[in-house]
């Protein structure tokens, strides 16, 4: 019996007496797959890696936020965001399968000077800085090669 045959049998009601058992078996299997994915991802990450929360993260406001992995804790990881996001900023404990590694060139580590200029604000704003005209900002404002061609944006 292949998958199509099983689906047809379920639709016809041939397994009505066993639907709760199927539900529990499927829920258990999905949990096992999630644990395997977490364990695999857990060992992919190193302390200091730049990471981004994936699109299906809950709470949704964390999706796309970038930070630094600061610790492994049991089967989870601890992330410090670059900028606060509501009540989340430092010490976010989460399963590793809701994170993806990002290239430090695309998401540079925010320097203390940058954080000081922007401040710990949770307002939605867009910051864009050209590659040559830095408008008198401190030299350590740009973390890579003294400038950033793409500008810096935050949501």
CA dist., res. 104 & res. 14, Å (int): 54
CA 88 to chain centre: 13
Model confidence at 115, in pLDDT bands (50, 70, 90)?
Answer: low
Q: Please tell me the predicted confidence (pLDDT) of residue 149.
A: 43
CA dist., res. 68 & res. 52, Å (int): 8
Place of tokens 């949501």: 155
Q: Please tell me the predicted confidence (pLDDT) of residue 1.
A: 78
Model confidence at 75, in pLDDT bands (50, 70, 90)?
Answer: confident
Verdict on whether the full-model pTM lies above 0.85: no
Q: Please tell me the predicted confidence (pLDDT) of residue 111.
A: 57
CA dist., res. 23 & res. 5, Å (int): 18
């Amino acid at each position: 019996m292949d998958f199509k045959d099983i689906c047809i049998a379920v639709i016809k009601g041939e397994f009505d007496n066993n639907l709760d058992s199927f539900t529990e078996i499927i829920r258990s299997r999905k949990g096992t797959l999630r644990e395997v994915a977490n364990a695999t991802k857990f060992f992919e990450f190193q302390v200091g890696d730049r990471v981004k929360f994936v699109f299906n993260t809950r709470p949704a406001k964390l999706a796309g936020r970038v930070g630094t992995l600061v610790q492994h804790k049991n089967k989870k990881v601890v992330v410090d965001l670059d900028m606060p996001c509501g009540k989340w900023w430092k010490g976010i404990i989460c399963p590793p399968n809701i994170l993806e590694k990002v290239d430090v060139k695309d998401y540079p580590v925010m320097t203390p000077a940058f954080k000081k200029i922007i401040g710990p604000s949770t307002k939605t704003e867009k910051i864009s800085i050209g590659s040559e005209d830095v408008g008198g900002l401190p030299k350590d404002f740009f973390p890579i090669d003294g400038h950033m061609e793409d500008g810096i944006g935050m949501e």
